[in-house]
Amino acid sequence: MGQTDTASVSSAPTSMGQMTSDWASDVEVFKGVSWGKSMMWIFLLSDTFVFGTFLTGYMTVRMSSTVPWPNASEVFSLNIAGTDMPLILIAIMTFVLISSSGTMAMAVNMGYQRRAKQAALFMMGTAVLGAMFVGMQMFEWSKLIHEGVRPWENPFGAAQFGSSFFMITGFHGLHVSIGVLYLSIVARKVWRGDYEKKGDYSIVEITGLYWHFVDLVWVFIFAFFYLW
C-alpha cells in the first residue's frame, strides 16, 4: 500500500476511519472502483441471498423430513472399471470449475498487462471449462432422471431430495451457462481490440468477478449438498 495519497483521501489505508470518511464524503463512496465493478459486486451480493436462501430451504426440508435422506455418496457414485467410486463425477466437476477460476485469474492478469490476445484466449479457455462443467452436469441429471429421481419422488429416500437437487444445481448450472455466454461475448470484444484505444481492461476483471462467484457458490453446494 503506497502512501501517495492526495488531500481529498483519508490517509490511513484500509481502516475504520477511512471507511466512515468514504461514506460521509458526499462524493463517490467506492474510490478507485469503476461503476461497472461496484455494480457487479452489488449484483453478486443479491445473488448471494438467492443461493443463501436456496441452501437454507434445502436445510429446512432435510431437517424436518421424517423419511431418511438419500446417501449422496451412493446416489452420485459412478461405476468405473468395476469399482464404485463415490462422488467421482462431482469431484471432477469441482476440479474443472476450480481450473476455470485459475484460467480466469490469468485472463485478468493478462488484461491488465495489456496483452489482449492472451487475455481473450484465457477467457475462452475458461468458457470451454465452464461448458465442460455444464456438460457433466447434464450427464448427471440424465443419469438421475433415468434412475427415477423426480422433484416429487425418488427411489432412494426423502422426496424432498429431488426438489432440492434440481432447484439448487439447476440454478447453479444456469449461472454457469450464462457465464459461458458472457465470457464468450467479452472475450470476442477483447480479441477484436475494442478496449485497445482506452487501454481499460477492467471489463475482464468484472467478468472474472462473476465467474469466480459461480465457483464460490459451487464450493458451498459441494459441501452442503454432496458431502453433508
Partner 1 sequence: MAHEETLPGGEAEQQHPIGLYLKIWGLLFILSTLSYLVDFFQLEGLLRWGLILIFMMLKAGLIVAVFMHMMWERFALIYLITLPPLAILVLVALMVLESNYVYLLRMVYLSGFG
- Shortest distance in whole angstroms from residue 150 CB to partner 1: 21
**CB 178 → partner 1: shortest distance, Å?**
18
> How far apart are CB 162 and partner 1 at their closest, in Å?
19
In degrees rounded to 5, what are phi and psi of residue 76?
Answer: -100, 20
Could you write out the DSSP letters of every residue in 55-77?
A: HHHHHHHHHH-SSPPP-HHHHT-
Please tell me the distance from the alpha carbon of residue 12 to that of residue 15, in angstroms, as a whole number.
Answer: 6
Q: Decide whether 15 or 142 has the Cβ nearer to partner 1.
A: 15
Beta carbon nearer to partner 1, 113 or 142: 113
The closest of 62, 122, 68, 132 to 94, measured between CA atoms, is 132
- Smallest separation, CB 181 to partner 1 (Å): 21
Residue for cell digits 485459475? 102
Neighbouring CB atoms inside 10 A of 210's CB total 19
CB 189, min distance to partner 1, A: 19
Identify which of residues 139 and 228 has a Cβ nearer to partner 1 in the complex. Answer: 228
Comparing CB distances to partner 1, the nearer of 100 and 154 is: 100
Please identify, using beta-carbon distances, which residue of 124 and 204 lies nearer to partner 1: 204
Residues 158/69, Cβ–Cβ less than 8 Å: yes
Backbone phi, then psi, for 83, in 5-degree steps? -115, 140
Question: Residue 148 or residue 196: which is nearer to partner 1 going by CB?
Answer: 196
Kindly state the helix (H) or strand (E) to which residue 112 belongs, with its residue range: helix 88-112
CB of 39 to partner 1, least distance (A): 12
Report whether 89 contacts 136 (CB < 8 A): yes
